[in-house]
């Protein structure tokens, strides 16, 4: 019996990088995974790899910042499955690395929409389905700059700091249920497209692949850690 046999997981930003690796790892552990991202073609590639590996998945192409899209997705999941066991909040936007006084308001608004507001909308929409699970897990992917300020990372870092505060509050609010756990996951330096954009001179082989983060997350989902914890993958 695979550890997540019969479980339903939803992973955002699942078309590549950490999201794709997490989705494939969860599917390999027996979960049926709902793959969420904007690119249908890339989601289909991840879905195909999952199917070739003997797993199961459903793609849900959408822009998380578009109006009622999150609510419609939650309604569709509720109608088909009636619950959600694992919610992995991974989708994020880096934006420009620039001094605070030079941050473009429109770009900053989109960063906050994707990195913060969309995650609150997902929690709001899926909270009833998570509470319908025997044991639900919510994992939000953060960054070290959300806790330790760094020059030129003000826009992205502030969005992650706010995300951590949001998830910490949600963990505190749901702790009484005893069956919904929140984990804030800092993947550390990882070989992703976002990392390449932020550090263009870095050799990709110098940092760990996304599969290492996915494997660590799988371990965390099976341990007895407390809700609201923040874990870094070094």
DSSP for 42-96, please give it. Answer: HHHHHHHHHHHTT-EEEEEE--TTSTTHHHHHHHHHHHHTS--SEEEE-------
Instruction: Provide the pLDDT for residue 1.
Output: 82
CATH of region 8-232, choose from 3.40.1160.10, 1.20.1250.20, 3.40.50.720, 3.40.190.10: 3.40.50.720
| 108, 156, 170, 176: the active-site residue | 156
Residue 185 reports pLDDT greater than 90: yes
Cβ-count burial 85-103 (b if 16+ within 10 Å, e if not): bbbbbbbbbbbeebeeeeb
User: What number is the average pLDDT over the span 210-225?
Assistant: 97
Where exactly are the structural domains of the chain? 8-232
User: What number is the average pLDDT over the span 93-98?
Assistant: 97
pTM, entire model: 0.97
Number of Cβ atoms within 10 Å of the Cβ of 121: 19
Three-class SS of residue 226? coil
Residue 195 reports pLDDT greater than 90: yes
Instruction: Provide the pLDDT for residue 117.
Output: 98
Tokens of 135: 């044991």
Instruction: Provide the pLDDT for residue 67.
Output: 79
In the chain, what is the straight-line distance between the N-terminal and C-terminal CA atoms, in Å?
30
Instruction: Provide the pLDDT for residue 105.
Output: 98
Residue 22 reports pLDDT greater than 90: yes
Instruction: Provide the pLDDT for residue 157.
Output: 98
Computed over every residue of the chain, the mean pLDDT equals 97
pLDDT in tens, 51-66: 999 999 999 999 999 9
Is 170 annotated in the active site?
no
Instruction: Provide the pLDDT for residue 169.
Output: 98
Q: For the chain, what percent of residues have pLDDT higher than 70?
A: 100
Q: Tell me if 182 sits within 8 A of 138, measured CB to CB.
A: yes
pLDDT in tens, 168-184: 999 999 999 999 999 99
User: What number is the average pLDDT over the span 12-16?
Assistant: 98
pLDDT in tens, 29-85: 999 999 999 999 999 999 999 999 999 999 999 999 997 999 999 999 999 999 999
Q: For the chain, what percent of residues have pLDDT higher than 90?
A: 97
User: What number is the average pLDDT over the span 129-144?
Assistant: 98
Q: How far lies 82's CA from each of 55, 95, 119, 129, in Å?
A: 21, 36, 20, 7
């Amino acid at each position: 019996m695979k550890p997540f046999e019969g479980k339903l997981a939803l992973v955002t930003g699942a078309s590549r990088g950490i999201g794709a690796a997490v989705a494939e790892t969860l599917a390999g552990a027996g979960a049926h995974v709902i793959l969420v991202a904007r690119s249908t073609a890339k989601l289909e590639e991840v879905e195909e790899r999952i199917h070739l590996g003997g797993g199961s998945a459903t793609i849900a192409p959408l822009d998380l910042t578009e109006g009622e899209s999150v609510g419609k997705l939650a309604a569709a999941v509720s109608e088909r499955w009636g619950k959600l066991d694992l919610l992995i909040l991974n989708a994020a936007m880096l934006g420009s690395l620039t001094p605070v006084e030079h941050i473009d308001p429109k770009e900053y608004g989109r960063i906050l929409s994707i990195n913060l507001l969309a995650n609150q909308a997902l929690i709001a929409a899926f909270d009833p389905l998570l509470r319908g699970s025997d044991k639900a897990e919510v994992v939000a992917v953060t960054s070290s700059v959300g806790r330790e300020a760094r020059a030129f990372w003000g826009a992205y870092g502030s969005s992650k700091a706010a995300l951590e505060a949001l998830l910490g509050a949600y963990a505190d609010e749901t702790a009484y249920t005893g069956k919904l756990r929140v984990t804030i996951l800092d993947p550390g330096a990882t070989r992703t497209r976002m990392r390449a954009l932020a550090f263009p001179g870095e050799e990709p082989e110098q940092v760990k692949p996304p599969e290492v983060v996915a494997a660590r997350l799988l371990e965390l989902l099976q341990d007895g850690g407390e809700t609201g914890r923040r874990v870094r993958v070094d």
